[in-house]
Amino acid sequence: MKKRIINIFVFILVSLPVLAQTGDMFNRFRLAQSYEQAGEFEKAKNIYEDLFKAEPDNFQFFDALNKIYVQQKEFDNSILIIERRLKSNPQDINLKGLLGATYYQKGDEAKAFSIWDEALETAPQNIITYRIIANYAIEKRAFNKAIEYLSMGKEINDENFAISYELANLYSLFMKYTEAAEEYCSVLLKMPKQLNMIQGRISQYINKPEAMVPTIQVVGKYAKENENINFYSLLAWLYMENDEFDKAFDVYLTIDSKSNSAGMELYNFAVRSFQEKHFDEASKSYKKIIDNYPSSPFFFNAKIGYAKTLEATLDQKNNNEHNSWKPFYNTIYINKQDYNEVLDAYSDLIQKNRGTEIEAEASYRVGLINKEKFVNYDEAVKYFEKVTKDFAMSKFAVLAYNALAEIKIFQNDLKSAADFYTKVPSVPRCPEEDKIHSWLMKAKIEFWCGAFQNSLKLLKNVTRNLSDNDANDAIELGMIINTTKNDSLNLLEFAKAELLLYQKKFAPALEIYTKLSANENLLSVKDKALIRIAEVKIALDNLPEAIVHLNQIGELKEKNIYSDWALFLLGKLYQFGISDFTKARETYEKLLANFPNSLYLDTARENITKLKENTKNTL
């Protein structure tokens, strides 16, 4: 026992200097790293050299020294230490790749390629060897050589799909889109479950110039030559990405015939077509399901989709979209009788789907058509109340409460409107944004009624989440109330005008805004009244006067907090209202120059880009 204790004591005494030395080297290594990060490369290099000399087998010291040699362009020193290490590890593929990389950076490409070629002979049947050396080539941007190495590896084992993915990525970088598509299709041919992965990778470059056509050609060829249905799915997706929904529809007919999915694929295509406003293709797809799959679980969803598509097509014919750039406008529907066919379709769905979500949606849409198109509020209310009563837990209950509240606002029954908004948050699983919107609308109603303090309390609920779309409106309304609450009479006049504007009673609202804008003591109310005058004149299609007014506000710059909005709206007026694209572009550019922190910069830049493209297309 005594002898054992003595041995342990001796071991500790011997080990202490070694441990101290190791700790010292580690501290020096960290010091060198600090020098390197500070840009003092010579000091860092000197320490790394001392450490490497002391422990040449330590990879961490070797790697740090080699990197600083390369960074300082001391390529001969880098070559020297790599070759020294290779003598001890002659089969190390990474060291050979590193040596070739140094020669490549030195400018001796021939030597680099020779070293990399020889490295492949170390394990010529191991596909990992080819990938390692290809990665060194990629790091040094020797892409053609990387493609060569990966192609060689693929010849050895074409079941390794990682190589095909790497090749496809390189081909796409070099804009060799045909070759990239060939690689992806070769993977899909053997691994159908890779469809989503392949689609995701193609999506990263497919919108680049000259990428779409060759990709469609290759995928189309594979679709014809193989029974793999995934090629048709990929082809249809490409057509949709290229906005060729008519061709995508034809492909989906083939997919439908091959898949035995009871119309599921056609239904998914119809939903996307509807979302992208390709109503003809959506309509045809829904009709195919209705005609061919009466027992399909998608049958009634297709029927309601078909009715919604018919409604959307009629809306498109009424062409109210040309007014969508305006802050406020009256929607005009011509040939209202055409909507009777849509109402019949929804009524049929209601009769055949009692107690289902389809009945809830169909009832809501019947109410909406009566409200928006026929302005038959009594009939609309009947259907909306049916939804809130019979489908209280449905998402359509939220929409119905909002519609009922809006009708009551138009009828000047603000108390009932507030009651409906109060019910919105109580709907189970009500989306947070709908809850917030209901609070904002209740705050506006309190404001319109002159209950300014109540309005401020409700606005606090809205501004808790500043990322919500309604937060800016809440902040603005709160600012107007707080800065004008001591002048309650004028604030009440402004509130009256805001209610009239919401009710689309533009002429009487304009009278009040004009009166308020002349009062120099109203601060934020005056600023808002000035911009409202321009917005109302746009709603009344008095565009020449609106142009003059917006120009005047835009010139005020910091003197009016809405000056940037005035310029942005003026740009839209030129672009969409009178098609003066030169003036539109000049106005957007003025906005960018005068208001670099404006909320409208991104949209202004997008519009400038579109205007430039339109100019090119007309030349």
- The residue with tokens 């793999």 is 228
Rounded CA-CA distance 550/564 in Å is 10
Instruction: Give, as one character, the DSSP assignment of residue 237.
Output: H
Give the helix/strand (H/E) hosting 578.
Answer: none
Q: Residue 23: which pLDDT band, with cuts at 50, 70 and 90?
A: low
Rounded CA-CA distance 440/617 in Å is 44
Query: pLDDT (tens digit, 9 = 90+) per residue, 518-574?
Result: 998 888 999 999 999 999 999 999 999 999 999 999 998 777 899 999 999 999 999
Instruction: Note the pLDDT of residue 157.
Output: 73
Q: Is the pLDDT of residue 11 over 50?
A: no
Tokens encoding 362:
């169909």
Q: How many CA atoms lie within 13 A of 369 on its CB side?
A: 24
The amino acid that residue 184 corresponds to is Y
Closest CA to 127 of 89, 163, 174, 91: 163
Answer yes or no: are the C-beta atoms of 383 and 367 closer than 8 Å: yes
Backbone angles phi, psi at 586, to 5 degrees: -60, -40
Answer yes or no: are the C-beta atoms of 161 and 194 closer than 8 Å: yes
Q: Residue 22: which pLDDT band, with cuts at 50, 70 and 90?
A: low
Mean pLDDT of 510-519: 96
Instruction: Note the pLDDT of residue 9.
Output: 43
Query: Mean pLDDT over all residues of the chain?
Result: 91
Range in 42-56, 104-118, 240-254, 276-290 the model is least confident about: 42-56
Query: pLDDT (tens digit, 9 = 90+) per residue, 164-184?
Result: 899 999 999 989 999 999 999
pTM as predicted? 0.77
Q: Where are the domains of the chain?
A: 1-51, 433-485
Q: Report residue 87 CA to chain centroid gap.
A: 53
Instruction: Note the pLDDT of residue 28.
Output: 86
Rounded CA-CA distance 255/261 in Å is 9
Backbone angles phi, psi at 303, to 5 degrees: -65, -45
Query: pLDDT (tens digit, 9 = 90+) per residue, 37-68?
Result: 888 888 888 888 888 888 888 888 888 888 98
Task: Spell 347-361 as b/e; 16+ CB within 10 A means b.
Answer: eebbeebeeeebbbb
- The residue with tokens 């799909």 is 161
Rounded CA-CA distance 312/75 in Å is 68
Answer yes or no: are the C-beta atoms of 477 and 503 closer than 8 Å: no
Q: How far is CA 96 from CA 93, 114, 327, in A?
A: 5, 10, 66
Tokens encoding 538:
């746009």
Instruction: Give, as one character, the DSSP assignment of residue 576.
Output: I
Share of the chain above pLDDT 70, in %: 95
Closest CA to 408 of 393, 418, 396: 418
Give the helix/strand (H/E) hosting 458.
Answer: helix 452-462
Instruction: Note the pLDDT of residue 617.
Output: 58
Instruction: Note the pLDDT of residue 352.
Output: 95
Q: Residue 19: which pLDDT band, with cuts at 50, 70 and 90?
A: very low
